[in-house]
């Protein structure tokens, strides 16, 4: 049995997990089943239709068995298209294996149980323009239509076209984020397909320049009374997981105490790192509620301090 290791970037999410989390190795005999996608968290695209997955590793038609090791629920689904992940579930597939309220499955097993014909050939670009190759998603922030970017300075005007429905919008860059083009809620509404939170096939064009280069994210100032500032410039989001307030991290070991301050409303919380994720500090639901602004799912102006 050959074990394949995969790394994936999907909708701006870079999952790096330790052996204790993510996909595990399957124990297989001489059958066609083999473990794949190990080391990756699983999430979903919110696409409709019958249960299925999309993949950057397996051709259309491949059958994948996906098991959530936290509740032992499993589903066997076909690969229906291309995405930026080893296995990106659609809404119906996610519902078959998810735990209530959780949008990510860290402890999982993915097995290939049926072939899809020819090996995955190099795929034509699903996106084009200045953010070629990247799927687009949104931050759920309010206000007039706009985007934030890690590539273009504030004031740049971007034309964003959803190639699946040919809807387009021209919006200004209003701030900094971790994506080439992260739409806010109003911009997403102008180009989205109903019920979809991800635009895979898109074109992003620069149609107007800004006067000055994008400023680097302002590093937090160390607070000697509270601890040292870490991960300056990082944004903070939430995992959708329940439980007492806590965080997961790709930088700090379990048990580390982190103080997270939302500089937009000066709310802060001090939480323990309880697991591994792809972020400096990925808050669970309870922790995020303590510092969030209403209706926002992303904290751009954040200060992270190691306090224990």
Percent of the chain having pLDDT more than 70? 75
* Helix, strand and coil in the chain, % to nearest 5: 5, 35, 60
- Residue 220 pLDDT: 41
**Pairwise CA distance, residues 182 & 12, whole Å:** 9
**Pairwise CA distance, residues 249 & 282, whole Å:** 6
- Residue 268 pLDDT: 92
Q: Say whether 228-306 and 133-208 share the same fold.
A: yes
Nearest to 202 by CA among 276, 286, 129: 129
Q: Which CATH superfamily is domain 133-208 in?
A: RlpA-like domain (2.40.40.10)
Residues 6+ apart with CB under 8 A from 22: 15, 38, 39, 40, 41, 106, 107, 108, 276
Q: What is the pLDDT of residues 198-220, one digit of tens each?
A: 788 889 999 987 644 434 344 44
* Whether the predicted pLDDT of 158 surpasses 90: yes
Q: What SS3 state is found at 115?
A: coil
Every domain of the chain and the residues it spans = 9-114, 133-208, 228-306
- CATH for the stretch 9-114: 2.40.40.10
* Range 228-306: architecture per CATH: Beta Barrel (2.40)
Instruction: Note the pTM of the prediction, 2 decimals.
Output: 0.40
């Amino acid at each position: 049995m050959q074990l394949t290791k995969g790394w994936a970037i999907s909708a701006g999410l870079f999952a790096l997990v330790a052996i204790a989390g993510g996909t595990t190795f399957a124990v297989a005999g001489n059958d066609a089943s083999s473990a794949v996608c190990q080391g990756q968290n699983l999430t979903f695209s919110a696409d409709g239709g019958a249960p299925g997955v999309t993949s950057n590793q397996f051709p259309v038609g491949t059958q994948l068995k996906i098991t959530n090791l936290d509740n032992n629920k499993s589903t066997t689904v076909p690969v229906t298209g291309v995405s930026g992940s080893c296995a990106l579930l659609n809404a119906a597939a996610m519902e078959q294996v998810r735990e209530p309220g959780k949008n990510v499955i860290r402890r999982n097993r993915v097995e290939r149980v049926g072939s899809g014909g020819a090996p995955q050939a190099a795929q034509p670009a699903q996106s084009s323009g200045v953010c070629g190759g990247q799927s687009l998603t949104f931050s759920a922030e309010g206000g007039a239509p706009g985007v934030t970017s890690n590539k273009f300075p504030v004031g740049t005007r971007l034309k964003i076209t959803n190639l699946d429905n040919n809807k387009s919008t021209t919006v200004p860059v209003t701030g900094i984020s971790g994506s080439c083009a992260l739409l806010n809620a109003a911009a997403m509404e102008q180009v989205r397909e109903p019920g979809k939170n991800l635009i895979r096939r898109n074109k992003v064009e620069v149609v107007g320049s800004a006067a000055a280069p994008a400023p680097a994210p302002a590093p937090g100032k160390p607070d000697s009374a509270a601890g040292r500032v870490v991960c300056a410039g990082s944004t903070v989001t939430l995992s959708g997981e329940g439980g007492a307030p806590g965080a997961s991290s790709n930088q700090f070991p379990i048990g580390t105490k982190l103080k997270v301050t939302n500089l937009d409303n000066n709310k802060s919380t001090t939480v323990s790192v309880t697991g591994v994720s792809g972020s400096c500090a990925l808050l669970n639901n309870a922790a995020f509620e303590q510092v969030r602004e209403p209706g926002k799912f992303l904290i751009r102006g954040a200060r992270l301090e190691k306090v224990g």
